[in-house]
């Protein structure tokens, strides 16, 4: 475990893309619930209509990128109604820096930026043991479904503001670049 790291969280730039690719690839290498293609997902999402540059953040230690988080725009559709929301996917920390709090700093910073931008909720498919510490709850509790096969406990959502999940019911519509 690495202690007392001086971590800088900032918005990703185009100059960071190669380092981010490498960090994401390393972070998911050998992960049992991963298909080890998350680095390509990040590249595709940057080209999507859902990409929000302010919500693609990197973590640096000693001027080296060691972590990344991306939150993109999605819609939750119910009958004829579409509600704008966000989706966190993925968050990555280089294996040499995992379990040092960097992932949590990325999540908390991204939540704050999203809230400041006026967004009220985020959905995700992720590790059920990790994300609840940041306020994520079962999305199904709020009537939110995902159009992919995933265990219910992995499908989560968080309100960024009080009541942020109250009206968000329906099926998440991912940008086509997710697939």
Residue 35's pLDDT is what?
A: 84
Superfamily (CATH) of domain 7-178: Gcn5-related N-acetyltransferase (GNAT) (3.40.630.30)
Average pLDDT over residues 24-33: 89
Give the 3-state secondary structure of residue 63: coil
Average pLDDT over residues 36-45: 94
Is residue 178 predicted with pLDDT exceeding 90? no
What distance in Å separates the CA atoms of residue 174 and residue 147, rounded to the nearest whole number? 8
What share of the chain in percent tops pLDDT 90?
A: 89
Average pLDDT over residues 55-65: 97
Is residue 54 predicted with pLDDT exceeding 60? yes
The DSSP-derived string for 105-135 is HHHHHHHHHHHHTT--EEEEE--TTTGGGGT
Average pLDDT over residues 101-122: 98
Least confident of 35-39, 58-62, 131-135: 35-39
Give the 3-state secondary structure of residue 82: strand
What distance in Å separates the CA atoms of residue 93 and residue 101, rounded to the nearest whole number? 10
Is residue 2 predicted with pLDDT exceeding 50? no
Question: Looking at per-residue confidence, does 168 or 179 come out higher?
Answer: 168
Residue 40's pLDDT is what?
A: 96
End-to-end CA distance of the chain: 35
Q: What is the pTM of this model?
A: 0.94
If pLDDT is split at 50, 70 and 90, which confidence band does 160 have? Answer: very high
Q: What's the mean per-residue pLDDT of the chain? A: 94
Residue 34's pLDDT is what?
A: 80
If pLDDT is split at 50, 70 and 90, which confidence band does 1 have? Answer: very low
Ranges of H-type helices in 29-179: 38-46, 102-116
pLDDT tens digits along 114-125: 999 999 999 999
Domain residue extents for the chain: 7-178
If pLDDT is split at 50, 70 and 90, which confidence band does 3 have? Answer: low
């Amino acid at each position: 475990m690495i202690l007392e790291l001086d971590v800088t969280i900032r918005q990703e730039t185009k100059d960071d893309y190669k380092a981010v690719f490498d960090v994401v690839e390393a972070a998911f290498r050998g992960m049992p619930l991963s298909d080890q293609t998350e680095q390509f997902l990040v590249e595709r999402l940057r080209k999507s209509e859902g990409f929000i540059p302010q919500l693609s953040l990197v973590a640096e230690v000693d001027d080296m990128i060691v972590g990344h988080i991306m939150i993109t725009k999605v819609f939750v559709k119910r009958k004829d109604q579409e509600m704008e929301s966000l989706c966190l996917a993925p968050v990555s920390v280089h294996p040499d820096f995992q379990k040092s709090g960097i992932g949590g700093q990325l999540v908390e910073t991204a939540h704050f930026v999203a809230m400041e931008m006026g967004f009220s909720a985020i959905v995700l498919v992720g590790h059920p043991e990790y994300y609840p510490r940041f306020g994520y709850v079962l999305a199904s509790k709020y009537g939110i479904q995902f159009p992919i096969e995933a265990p219910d406990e992995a499908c989560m959502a968080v309100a960024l503001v009080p009541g942020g999940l109250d009206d968000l019911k329906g099926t998440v519509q991912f940008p086509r670049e997710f697939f």
